[in-house]
Amino acid sequence: MDSDLKRRVELFLQQKGVASLPKLNIEVEGGQVMLQGTVGSFYERQLCLCCQRIAGVSRVVDELKVESTSIPQVSVARQFRGNSNSILPPDDQAKDAR
């Protein structure tokens, strides 16, 4: 039964277009699906977690990692001054006041 469920999980992920499928390790034991490996994006990770909807899956253990992406990291939030209703950064507030 576990081998059948594993096959259905793999087919589900293939049909959803999970490109990282060859990099994944999928283990099934008693309806519990363990997903290990690296996926290319957070979207792919969410697709993988959707296998919870497959009949016979009682639980999904998420041990997936997302490859580093080129998403810009914001390290320091900009501080705003002036009118509390203003949404412009300080440099643009001065230009806007002219």
pLDDT at 70 over 70: no
pLDDT at 95 over 50: yes
Write out the two tokens for 46: 């969410």
DSSP 67-78: PP--PPP--SPP
pLDDT at 25 over 80: yes
pLDDT at 50 over 60: yes
- What pTM was computed for the model? 0.67
- Top-confidence residue, 58 or 81: 58
Q: What is the pLDDT of residue 79?
A: 47
CATH number assigned to the domain covering 2-66: 3.30.1340.30
Which tens digit of pLDDT belongs to each residue from 53-64?
999 999 999 999
Q: What is the pLDDT of residue 82?
A: 47
Domain segments of the chain as ranges: 2-66
